Amino acid sequence: MKVNMKMHPTAIRFALAALAILVAILMGCGGPVKYPNYYTLHLPPPPDPPVAENVHATLAVREFRSPTYLRQGAIVYKTSPEQIGFYNYHRWAVDPRAFVTNAVAENLRASGNFASVKLFDGRTDVDYVLSGRLDELEEIDYDGGVKVRVSISAQMMNAVTGAAVWTNSVSEVGTVGQRDVPAVVSAMNGTMGRAIEKLLTPPPAAVAK
């Protein structure tokens, strides 16, 4: 029996298309792998606290809350007040909520206005509990130039009565020297430092004493 080795033109076209796709996939697999860059916020350590005199109030700081999009790891930018974008290959190495919580606790500890300041562990063996929210930590790409914005709010409550005895909120904007992510993170560092300083002025201990 004689076998016909000729292929139909349509079948040939399908075979060539499949071959082209396979080659493209193999070339893509052989290309360089792009890994994300990781960043962390960094603030100068606060000074050592002064010697406590007649200070007895104790304080616990809860982990700050934040919008869901700030907890996803990627550095955030906004091209309009309504539109949020994410840098796929530029991410936070540390959850910004944890960073802000620790920075606030360290600054309150350094103030010397409390006998002790610790992170909240679910216990109520303190006089006051401070809770807060990181509302904004993002690059702003509208209204002229590149800027960053940090917004934080916090309140301190009596651990026994649950009454709020102090509250404050701040929103700080910083300028970015050049259009790249390391410069954005650097601007966020300075803006975050100013925001925390303003958040704790006047200090909660002025009410606690």
Q: DSSP letters of 89-135? A: EEEESS-HHHHHHHHHHHHHHHHT-SSEEEE--S---SSEEEEEEEE
The lowest-confidence range among 50-59, 110-119, 170-179 is 50-59
Q: Helix (H, G, I), strand (E, B), or coil: what is residue 54?
A: coil
Alpha carbon 44 to its chain centroid, in Å, reads: 18
Angle at 66 between CA 61 and CA 68, to 5 degrees: 145
pLDDT more than 90, % of the chain: 66
The DSSP code for 65 is B
The whole-number average pLDDT for the span 57-84 is 95
Closest to 85 (Cα-Cα) out of 149, 135, 138: 138
Residue with tokens 């550095």, as numbered in its chain: 75
The DSSP code for 5 is -
The identity of residue 172, as a single letter, is E
Give the confidence band of 25 by pLDDT, cuts at 50, 70, 90. low
Pairing of strands 37-39, 84-92: parallel
Q: What is the pTM of this model?
A: 0.81
The whole-number average pLDDT for the span 174-195 is 95
Query: Is pLDDT of 22 > 60?
Result: no
Give the confidence band of 47 by pLDDT, cuts at 50, 70, 90. confident
Measured distance CA(69)–CA(38) in Å, rounded: 17
The whole-number average pLDDT for the span 180-185 is 96
Domain ranges in the chain are 37-208
Pairing of strands 147-158, 164-175: antiparallel
Residue with tokens 């006998």, as numbered in its chain: 115
Q: Is the separation of the CB atoms in 176 and 141 below 8 Å?
A: no
Report the topology of domain 37-208. Answer: Rossmann fold (3.40.50)
What pLDDT, on the 0 to 100 scale, is given for residue 2?
47
The pair of three-digit structure tokens given for residue 48, joined into one six-digit string:
């050592």
What pLDDT, on the 0 to 100 scale, is given for residue 68?
95
Question: Which tens digits make up the pLDDT trace of 30-41?
Answer: 557 788 999 999
The pair of three-digit structure tokens given for residue 180, joined into one six-digit string:
């790249």
14 backbone dihedrals φ, ψ, rounded to 5°? -65, -40
Question: Which tens digits make up the pLDDT trace of 81-129?
Answer: 999 999 999 999 999 999 999 999 999 999 888 999 999 998 879 999 9
What pLDDT, on the 0 to 100 scale, is given for residue 1?
46
What pLDDT, on the 0 to 100 scale, is given for residue 140?
96
What pLDDT, on the 0 to 100 scale, is given for residue 156?
96
Average pLDDT, the chain: 86
Query: Is pLDDT of 209 > 80?
Result: no
Q: Is the separation of the CB atoms in 40 and 181 below 8 Å?
A: no
Q: Which residue has the higher pLDDT, 59 or 179?
A: 59
